[in-house]
Structure 1
Amino acid sequence: MKVRGRLLIIAASFLILIGGGVVLFSLQEMYAQEKKTKDSLAQAQERVHNAVNKERRNVLQTEQPLDVSFEQGEAIGILKIPRLEAELPIIEGTDEDELEKGVGHYSTTVLPGQSDQILLSGHRDTVFRRLGELEIGDILQVIMPYGEYRYEITETEIVDADDTTVINSTAPQEILTVSTCYPFSYVGNAPNRYILSAKRLVN
């Protein structure tokens, strides 16, 4: 019995050590993720600030088609969510490297000011952990080096993870679509996607 008791204590201690190691690793990963996001936000803020100092043109007042593009992995702008008091960097691309830095922009969709669908995506456990708190009527702001844009949330939906119908042309209407994995508290690869649709406000 004494031997069994000792074995149980050793086994329990071993499990505690493993559990502690897992928690420590998770905390390190979370810290690294947050640092990448902060660094990307600083880059985006600097890019926007420099553009303002160069007297960027106000694309909201022009009827000419906006012709602009960015390189994969660049911090290209800022997504502000007033209700959540959040300010997030927008990164060109949605590979894992990009999503570790902030909110990814699907390169196959347009950019603000190009009168079609803009698709942004982010992880539910980092940049979009509070996305489910948003409601219809809430405002999303996108600040780019060439202008600022406001969008009003008009619809929310939950779709299958493999559903690609959420990616489609909305021209000539400009729609901002925001996507993240769902359920928010799911452990592992989530089976669904949470989708927000927001129309551009021009006033």
Structure 2
Amino acid sequence: MRRIVGALLMLAGVGFVTFAAIQYFEHQASLKEAMAEANTLISQPQTIDHLDDKGVDPASQRDPMAERSQFDPSPNDVIGMLEVPKLEAELPIIEGTDEEMLERGVGHYSSTAFPLDDEQILLSGHRDTVFRNFDKLAVGDRFIVKLPYGTFEYEIRSTAIVDKDDTSVIRSMGSEVLVVSTCYPFRYLGNAPDRFIFYAYPVGDEQTT
């Protein structure tokens, strides 16, 4: 009987490891595909459907504000890239934060702003996939957001820990603030009870939370 139980436990363990391995490789493949799309996207200036008053081709004279006005991604679109210099990480940004979107990369809360909107920009990601090692980040470290209409650099000015059900994090802040959220504690097994929040401001902006 003990041998049977032992064999069953061993089979269950092998099955669990196999399932976890399949999930990991599927995630890596999805992440790699999204990253390739992000690289292509940010390397090609967004097309503007008009010339300026001098008839200049916009491809040769970019106007970030004009390009921003035409930037209107749909849910699950790859929209850009998040760089984390401290971790030497480059991550694709996906429009939306449903689970299928977070499996592909860093999610952008669709109800929040984009760079140049002078409002809160909220990004979210899993602590055990795209945001692995985010526990090494500290005040003073930087995020770089690359979108089709420009590259934007932010410095972490403060952090916070909130309950996972605390929706007050999503709010109007009256100025451009990059808010990055992930599950906490970072090494927690299972569904983490809290969220760790990074507040990052445009480099050169002296405002704080």
TM over 0.5: yes
Query: 1:90-131: CA deviations, max 9, x gaps?
Result: 000000111010000000000112110000000111001111
| Offset of residue 156 of structure 1 | 1.1
Question: Which is worse superposed, 180-189 or 116-125?
Answer: 180-189
SS of structure 1 residue aligned to 2:195 = strand
**What are the ranges of 5 or more consecutive residues in structure 2 without an aligned counterpart?**
48-58
2:111 aligned partner: 108
What is the deviation of 1:187? 2.1
Q: State the one-letter code of the partner of 2:161.
A: I
C-alpha contact 1:58 1:147 (8 A) present in aligned 2: no
The structure 2 residue matched to 1:46, chosen from 40, 55, 59, is: 40
CA contact (8 A) 1:138 1:152 kept: yes
Alpha-carbon shift at residue 69 of structure 1 (Å): 1.6
Query: Aligned residue for 2:30?
Result: 36
Aligned to 1:4: none
Contact 1:150–1:202 (CA under 8 A) maintained in structure 2? no
Contact between 1:57 and 1:147, CA under 8 Å: does it hold in 2? no
C-alpha contact (below 8 Å) 1:152/1:198 kept by paired residues: yes
Give me the identity figure in percent: 46
- Is the Cα–Cα contact under 8 Å of residues 181 and 190 in structure 1 kept in the other structure? yes
TM-score of the superposed pair, with normalisation by structure 1: 0.89
Cα RMSD for the two superposed structures: 1.9
When structure 1 is superposed on structure 2, of 177-186 and 85-94 the one drifting more is 177-186
Distance 1:102 1:135, change over 3 A: same
Amino acid at match of 1:11: V
Aligned residues: 193
* Separation of aligned partners in 2, 1:9 and 1:70: 57
1:189 corresponds, among 172, 191, 195, to 191
Query: Which residue identity is paired with 1:195?
Result: I
* Rounded Cα–Cα distance in structure 1 between residues aligned with 2:81 and 2:183: 21
Q: How does 1:1-12 map to 2 (within 5 A)?
A: 7-12=1-6
Unaligned runs of 5+ in 1: 1-6
Q: TM-score, normalised by structure 2?
A: 0.87
**1:51-200 to 2 correspondences below 5 Å:** 51=45, 54-55=59-60, 57=62, 59=64, 66-67=68-69, 68-171=71-174, 173-200=175-202
Question: Which aligned runs of 4 or more in structure 1 are off by greater than 3 angstroms?
Answer: 52-56
Deviation at 1:57, TM superposition (A): 2.1
Q: Sort the Cα spacing of 1:131 and 1:13 in 2 relative to 1 into closer, same or farther, 3 A.
A: same
Confirm or deny: 8 A CA contact 2:68 2:149 kept in the other structure.
no
Q: Distance in 1 between matches of 2:112 and 2:98?
A: 15
Change (3 A) 1:74 1:126: same
Judged with a 3 Å threshold, the aligned counterparts in structure 2 of structure 1 residues 87 and 55 are, in CA distance, closer, same or farther, namely: farther
Structure 2: which amino acid aligns with 1:196?
F
Q: Is the 8 A contact 2:46 2:67 kept in 1?
A: no
